[in-house]
Every structure is written in C-alpha cells, then in structure tokens.
Structure 1
C-alpha cells in the first residue's frame, strides 16, 4: 500500500521482520522517512549548488522554477531568451556511479522541449558542487522502458547512467559552463569518450 504521494503507507522495520522469521520476505530496497529526507536534502543541495555556479558563471535570467511548482518538468530556467535552457537537476553524493530517478512527466517534457537538459551534480560535504555533467538526451530516450499495454504505463524509472552517456560540464545548445571554468574540474563518474548517439 502506498500513500497518494507514492510513498509506502507504513515504514518497514527489517529487525522486527527478521525476529518474526520473515527475513526471506524482506524486499531488496526499503523506504524510510529518514532516507527520503536525506534524498530530498541532497536534491535541494544540488539545485542550490547549480544555481550558485550559474550565477558565478554569469548566466543571465536564472529562475528556480522547482521552488514554485513540480509541474514544469525541470528545476531551473536559465539563460537569455534567445538561448534559454530548462535544466533538470539530478544530485548525488556518490562519485563512483550516477544513479538517477526520472519521472514520466520529466521524460515527456524532455521529449517535447528542445531546451530541456539533464544536469548531474556531485554534491560535496559542504553542500557545494564538486562537479557537474550533462547527461545525453539520446541515451535517456533509449533507456526508459516501453509501455507494453494500454492498461499500464511506467510513471518513474531508476536508471544507472553509463560513463559514455555523461559529458563533463554543462552544455546547452547555445552556451556552456565548462570544466576548468566556473565548474570544478575534479573528474567524476569515469568520463569516457562519447559513443555516437543521435540527438
């Protein structure tokens, strides 16, 4: 059972289940209020860190739309009107692999909005960005599941982003924040040369 927001209706205490002899019935992943709060804190820190980098980098007209509503399908609108970008921010504290959760709404906005970009932010202990990268739209499109039947559709998907689908820095169609510029230069997520992906 889940609540209206999609969270489990009850917290699972694995110690109690194990003591009751139900260890084999334990799910692989568990939800808890503490874990959810920690995830939200990392997400908020990543958005704030990217906002600071955009301001430091001189990007004009920055708007944190996620603070207004989740309905946009992205978190930050930035750039001049002629070269604006809609930035979906995915934040993590793990420098060894990039795991993201993409909602159906975010995906549908990406599919219809040429100005939409996914930005991965590695958040340091101080809450600042250790590094920033752009995730390939083409890879995202290829990685989401296909709906198999009219009676069901995916609403959220967990994706482990491969190194070839991540480019250092933040690059949009008309402007960029690059590694060595305002974006920190420490390598992350084992950047590799990109394999050809169609836009």
Structure 2
C-alpha cells in the first residue's frame, strides 16, 4: 500500500500543482532546482512530490494537473498573509457547490430512495444534504469540498458544529473536486476528532463563529458512511489515496 506522504512531499506536491498550471514538467523541474525561492527542498524531495501526484492520479502522464490549487503565497512566513477578494470568494463558493452536486450525483446513482439538497433551500439546517434508505436509516451530510489533494482543510461554522453536537445523524463528507467537476475522492471526517479540536469560548465577551481546521489522515475515513451503513457502495467511489497519504483500502 502507498506510504504516507511526508510534509516535504506534500509541500513539493503543492508547488508542482501550482507551477504546472503554466509550464511543463521539464521547465518546472529546472525552476525548482535553480531558483533560490525553492531551495528549501532537495531535488529528490521535488521528484518524490511529483511521483506522489502521479501515483495518486492527481497529475497525468503528460504532466497536466487533474486538480488545481490556488496561489500558495509566502510559505513559511511568520505571520500568515490573509487575502480576500470577491473573485477568490466566488471561486471558493463554486468549488463548494461543485462538491455538493458531485456528491448528490453519487448518492442518486447509488439507488437511495430519498436524497434532498437542503442547502439549496436554506443555510440554517447546519448540513447540506439529507439522505435515507429507510425511516430508520438516514443521514444529514455536511459537505466540505476542496481541489487540493495534498491536505484537507475545512471551515466549520458554529451553527454546523452545534447541529453536529445535537444531531446523531449528522456526518461530515469531504469531497475532492476534479477539473471536470466530478468527485476525485470522497471521505468521511471523524466526529470525535471534530469535537476535540473546535475552539472553546473563554468568556461572555467573545464567541467563535467559524473555525479553520486542517484534518489529519487519522481522522479521515475512506468512503461515505453513516454509523452502521454505507451510503454509497465502495465500488462506486473513486479510489485515490490523497490528503496526507490517506489510504482507501
């Protein structure tokens, strides 16, 4: 089975995905080997980053990325550089919508008799999709979508967390969206891990409303499952090991 990607491999992979948008593999390799900006990693680490992307199907044999990541910015800066723009916000919303639609298609193709896209009606539910195969077997899915195969970073709102805490049927599905808008990978994030890492309000004068969480491989379960049943058969799901070497079988 594939080994877990190291932090250096993941960093190299993110750089490959960014630079391969505008140049081919030979030119990018020369850039990594010669430009001082990229000297913190060795040629061997860059080679492993590209090999990992190819093993997981994130880069084609011809060297074209299957998924895209945004500009990485100042890696390793002491103070993170946070930028907001209307265009970037629209892109994030588009990725989120694509992930929801891709998951809806998978659920409906799996033959579930009841699938409802509640996020199209209101944001107040605290989840995006309701699905069931019987009155006693249903799930409320919060969908988090990304185009980055090297790490899984999600933003959890206070409302989503409070619904999770009160709703035993709530589940968080992570969707890696490909350039064609389809799901490249689907996984479930562990609820116990989410409970353990959300912020804590420290006084009546402050309250957290949204948390940015980087999900470790140990908190990512392959496939899409409620507590006791599989929403989508494993055979219908993409099988690419991504997100810090998360294995699918």
Normalising by the residue count of structure 1, what TM-score does the alignment of the two structures yield? 0.81
1:109 aligns with 2:148: no
Quick one: structure 1 residues 168 and 192, their matched pair in 2 at CA, closer, same or farther if it must change by over 3 Å? same
Match of 1:38 in 2: 91
1:93 aligns with 2:155: no
CA distance in 1, matches of 2:242, 2:216: 12
Match of 1:171 in 2: 225
1:132, CA displacement in angstroms?
0.2
CA distance in 2, matches of 1:186, 1:157: 27
Match of 2:181 in 1: 127
Give the 3-state SS of the residue equivalent to 1:70 in structure 2. coil
CA distance in 2, matches of 1:106, 1:42: 19
Greater helix proportion: 2
Match of 1:75 in 2: 128
1:27, CA displacement in angstroms?
7.0
Give the 3-state SS of the residue equivalent to 1:106 in structure 2. helix
Normalising by the residue count of structure 2, what TM-score does the alignment of the two structures yield? 0.65
Contact kept, 8 Å, 1:99 with 1:159, in 2: the verdict is yes
1:148 aligns with 2:202: yes
1:53-81 per-residue CA deviation (whole Å, 9 max, x = no partner) reads 00111122000000000000000000132
1:179, CA displacement in angstroms?
7.0
The one of 97, 108, 112 aligned to 1:59: 112
1:150-199 per-residue CA deviation (whole Å, 9 max, x = no partner) reads 11110000000000000000010232146741111122212169xxxxxx
Where does structure 1 lack aligned partners over 5 or more consecutive residues?
1-25, 194-199
Quick one: structure 1 residues 83 and 179, their matched pair in 2 at CA, closer, same or farther if it must change by over 3 Å? closer
1:48 aligns with 2:101: yes
CA distance in 2, matches of 1:109, 1:131: 25
Contact kept, 8 Å, 1:117 with 1:172, in 2: the verdict is yes
Contact kept, 8 Å, 2:107 with 2:232, in 1: the verdict is no
CA distance in 2, matches of 1:170, 1:180: 8
Match of 2:246 in 1: 191
